[in-house]
Structure 1
C-alpha cells in the first residue's frame, strides 16, 4: 500500500486494487502456481482470458471490460513493484499491454469479411489449419496447444477437446472448410515438418518450425503475421477469434445452448453475452460456410 501511496493513488483506489489482486492470487492457487517467480507471460494471458469469460456473480453475465482492465493494471503494478525492489528478476508483464488504447469490448471485432481477408492472406495450408483451429473450432490458446493427432477424427468430422477449461471435455464438429484444411495439412505438410522422435512431438497435431509441438506463443505469432498481412488491427488477440465465431454462429441461427457446448462455456450466461451482438440474421450458408455445423 505504501508503494501505491508513493505513486499517487488514493485509499479508495487501494480497495479496488485489492479485489483484483485477491482474484489473481486465487486463480494462481487453482493453477497450482504458488510463487510469483513462476508466473509466466502465458499465465498472465490465460488469466486475462479467464477474466473475460468468468460469470459475474453479482450482476449476472460477465465482468465489464473496465473492471477487467483495472484488474490487469493492478497486476502490472504488482510486478513493476517487485521488479523495482529487485524481488523479481523477470517481469512477465513487461511485453503485455491491457490498457484502453484499443477498446477491448465484446463487440464483433472480426466480421465475416475480416475472416475472408485472413484466409486470402494465407500462403500455406498450415496457416489455414491454424485459422481453422482457433476460429472454425473456437479453441482457446491452451486447447490448441494441447491438440493431438488422435483428437481429430477425419472420417466422422469431429475434433475432441479432451481437457478444456476447468478440465471439461467437449466434441467440436468440423465444417467442410476446416476439415479439408486440417486433412491437407496433416497428410501433406505435417510429416515434412516433424523433427524428433520424442513422444510429445509425434503426438502433437500442429508442429512448429523446429519440428516440435506448436505452443500457444507460436500460435499467437503466426496469427499476428496473418492479421498484419490482411491489413487488420494488429492488437486483435487470439481470444477475439472465439468472440467472432460465437457471434457468427448465433447470427447463422445456431441455438445458444449449442453455441455454449461448441465453445465449452461452463455457464450459458457467458454465451448469452454475445446475443446482443447479433443485430442481423444471416443466411445458413455464409462465405466461410457454417452449414455443416448442426444447430
Structure 2
C-alpha cells in the first residue's frame, strides 16, 4: 500500500494544500499503514469496519511519544479527519473506499486562546527600535495583528502582494486555497513601506555571499533568505519580554487579538469573518465567547 503515499501527497498538492499540511497528512497515513502491517493487512480491500474500529481504539490507547500519556483529542481528531480525506482521494480516483460509516470524532478539548489587550499591543510597538530588525518587527506586527493574517499566509507574502498605492494586502493562497484582499491602515502602510525600502534592502545588501538568496518574499532574514516561523515568533517573544508582557504568545495570538478587538469595537461577525478569511461564521463566533469572558 506504500504506493498510495506519494499519490495521496501529489493529490493534496494539486488541491492547493500547503507543503506542511501535505507532509503531516502523509505521515499520518503512513502511521495507519504501519498499524495495518502489524495487523497483517496489506490491501485496502481487506480493511473492514472492524479494522477501522480497532484502529480508532488503538488511537485512544496509543502513547504520546513526545509528551508521554495518551494522544490528545485534537491529535486523534486529526488522524480521523485524515482517514476521511484519504477516503475522498480513493473515491475521486474510482478506487475501493474505506468503510468509515462508524468512524467517530472525539469531542474537542476546550482551547484557551491567549488574547492581548489593545494596551499590550501598544507596548509591543513601543518595544521596537529603529534597527533593521526593528523595522521588520513593526512590519510583522502590521501583517499579523493589523491585517490578521495566519502564520503561513504572512510567510508566503511576496513583494507584489503589498499594494501600497491601493492600501491592501493580497493573500493569494489562504486556508482552503482561498484568495482575499485585506485592507491596511496608514500606520501599517507606512511601516511596510519603511521596512521594504530600508530594512529589507539592508538585509539583502548585507547578507553573507555564501548564504545570500535571490528571493521576492516579503519577510527575509539576515542571511537574505525567506523567514521561517521560528524566526518571527522569537522576535515577537523578545518584544513581549521587552514590553513586560507576562503571557506566552505567538504570531497566531495576534490574529486572535485583532479579531477580538474588532468585535469589541462594534464590527459585525460577517465583516470579521471576511477580514479573517473564514469560510463560515462558526469559526468567527468563538470570539463572541472570548469577548464575554474578558
The match for 2:189 among 179, 195, 198 is 179
Residue 256 (1) aligns with residue 263 (2)? no
The residue number in structure 2 matching 1:145 is 155
Number of aligned pairs? 208
Distance in 1 separating the partners of 2:72 and 2:291? 34
Q: Is the alpha carbon distance of 1:152 and 1:23 closer, same or farther for their aligned partners in structure 2, counting shifts above 3 Å? A: same
The residue number in structure 2 matching 1:229 is 242
Q: Report the CA distance between 1:276 and its aligned residue.
A: 3.4
The match for 1:109 among 111, 115, 119 is 115
CA contact (8 A) 2:73 2:108 kept: no
Q: Report the CA distance between 1:113 and its aligned residue.
A: 0.5
Name the TM-score, length of structure 2 as normaliser: 0.61
Q: Is the alpha carbon distance of 1:4 and 1:152 closer, same or farther for their aligned partners in structure 2, counting shifts above 3 Å? A: closer
Name the TM-score, length of structure 1 as normaliser: 0.61
The residue number in structure 2 matching 1:91 is none
Residue by residue over 1:189-228, the C-alpha shift from the partner in whole angstroms, topping out at 9 and shown as x without a partner, is 1111114799974311111121111122211111111111
Q: Is the alpha carbon distance of 1:142 and 1:276 closer, same or farther for their aligned partners in structure 2, counting shifts above 3 Å? A: same
Higher mean C-alpha deviation, range 19-28 or range 166-175:
19-28
Residue 128 (1) aligns with residue 138 (2)? yes
CA RMSD after TM alignment: 3.6
Q: Is the alpha carbon distance of 1:27 and 1:146 closer, same or farther for their aligned partners in structure 2, counting shifts above 3 Å? A: farther
Which sections of structure 1, spanning at least 5 residues, go unmatched? Answer: 8-12, 32-56, 67-103, 281-295
Residue 23 (1) aligns with residue 33 (2)? no
The residue number in structure 2 matching 1:161 is 171
CA contact (8 A) 1:201 1:207 kept: no
Q: Report the CA distance between 1:24 and its aligned residue.
A: 3.4
Q: Report the CA distance between 1:159 and its aligned residue.
A: 0.1
Distance in 2 separating the partners of 1:6 and 1:21? 10
Q: Report the CA distance between 1:19 and its aligned residue.
A: 7.7
CA contact (8 A) 2:150 2:255 kept: yes
Aligned to 1:203, the other structure's residue is in SS state: coil
Higher RCO (C-alpha 8 Å, min separation 6): 1
The residue number in structure 2 matching 1:202 is 215
Q: Is the alpha carbon distance of 1:19 and 1:179 closer, same or farther for their aligned partners in structure 2, counting shifts above 3 Å? A: closer
Q: Is the alpha carbon distance of 1:275 and 1:2 closer, same or farther for their aligned partners in structure 2, counting shifts above 3 Å? A: closer
Q: Is the alpha carbon distance of 1:148 and 1:3 closer, same or farther for their aligned partners in structure 2, counting shifts above 3 Å? A: closer
Q: Report the CA distance between 1:236 and its aligned residue.
A: 1.6
If you compute each CA radius of gyration, which structure gives the higher value, 1 or 2? 2
The match for 2:202 among 172, 192, 207 is 192
Which sections of structure 2, spanning at least 5 residues, go unmatched? Answer: 1-56, 64-68, 87-103
Q: Report the CA distance between 1:17 and its aligned residue.
A: 5.7
Distance in 2 separating the partners of 1:190 and 1:255? 36
CA contact (8 A) 2:211 2:223 kept: no
Q: Is the alpha carbon distance of 1:160 and 1:26 closer, same or farther for their aligned partners in structure 2, counting shifts above 3 Å? A: same
The residue number in structure 1 matching 2:279 is 266
